């Protein structure tokens, strides 16, 4: 396996360490040539055997976990999920016993269904990776009075669309509102300023504010 700082961070920090999503990422990263029609031919016979063994081993584990949770009434499977399960290991997940299904799961090979049916099922059951975004942090050391003096100079020079721009990492600067966002009109005087908040979600928030509010820390 080829590792790097970026790989380790993504697999173990951005994704929860040893979680379903993390393990699937590691499989995709480690065995990517196997899933490519172009690069698969470059793998040796032994490499292909190793990849198939690892894919089947993990798939048996994850399918067994899904079915065990479903049979214990702790996991909901929709009709499409059940159809995929029934197709993958030739069973009826509603009627067959857990023991019978687990036995069938063990007997099947999944190396060619992994990137389609298996991942579709896992994505449906476990969903997408979710990270709750934190509010933008703005340091109390930011000298908004100095920024205002610069904005006042710009206003008096004829620039009526100056904006305080706050980045997702908390950096604060003074810029100019793009023409397509000038729907609220020019700044009427030096008591006003545009405020652009750029949260980590990537959806900027624009409003016209009073400098007094910004200097007092009211950026909502």
Going residue by residue through the chain, which has 220 residues, state the pLDDT in tens, using 9 for 90 and above. Answer: 445 667 888 888 888 888 888 899 999 999 999 999 888 989 999 999 999 999 999 999 999 999 999 998 778 999 999 999 999 999 999 999 999 999 999 999 999 899 999 999 999 998 877 655 555 566 677 888 999 999 999 999 999 999 988 887 778 888 888 888 888 899 999 999 998 887 555 567 888 999 998 888 777 6
Q: Do 101 and 36 share a domain, yes or no?
A: yes
d(CA 205, CA 98): 51
> Which residues share a beta bridge with 193?
209
Q: Do 40 and 117 share a domain, yes or no?
A: yes
Q: What is the pLDDT of residue 199?
A: 58
Q: Do 165 and 198 share a domain, yes or no?
A: yes
pTM (global) more than 0.85: no
> Which domain, by its residues, includes 173?
144-215
Q: Do 120 and 40 share a domain, yes or no?
A: yes
Q: Do 47 and 80 share a domain, yes or no?
A: yes
Would residue 134 count as lying in a domain? no
Q: Do 43 and 80 share a domain, yes or no?
A: yes
Q: Do 45 and 119 share a domain, yes or no?
A: yes
Q: Do 172 and 112 share a domain, yes or no?
A: no
Domain count, the chain: 2
* Torsion angle (degrees, nearest 10) of CA 108, 112, 113, 115: 140
Would residue 2 count as lying in a domain? no
């Amino acid at each position: 396996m080829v590792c790097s700082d970026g790989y380790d961070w993504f697999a173990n920090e951005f994704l929860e360490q040893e979680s379903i999503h993390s393990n699937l990422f590691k499989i995709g990263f480690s065995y990517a040539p196997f899933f490519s029609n172009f690069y698969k031919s470059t793998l040796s016979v032994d490499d292909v055997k190793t990849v198939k063994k690892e894919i089947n081993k993990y798939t048996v584990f994850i399918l067994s976990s899904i079915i065990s949770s479903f049979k214990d009434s702790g996991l909901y499977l929709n009709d499409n999920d059940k159809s995929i399960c029934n197709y993958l290991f030739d069973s009826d997940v509603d009627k067959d016993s857990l023991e019978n299904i687990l036995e069938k799961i063990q007997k099947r090979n999944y190396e060619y269904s992994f990137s389609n049916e298996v991942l579709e099922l896992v994505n449906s059951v476990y969903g997408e990776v979710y990270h709750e975004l934190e509010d933008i942090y703005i340091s109390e050391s930011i000298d908004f009075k100095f920024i205002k003096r610069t904005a006042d100079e710009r206003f008096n020079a004829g620039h009526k669309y100056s904006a305080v721009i706050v980045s997702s990492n908390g950096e604060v600067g003074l810029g100019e509102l793009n023409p397509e966002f000038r729907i609220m009109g020019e700044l009427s005087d030096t008591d006003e300023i545009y405020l652009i908040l750029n949260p980590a979600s990537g959806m900027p928030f624009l409003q016209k504010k009073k400098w007094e509010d910004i200097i007092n820390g009211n950026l909502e």
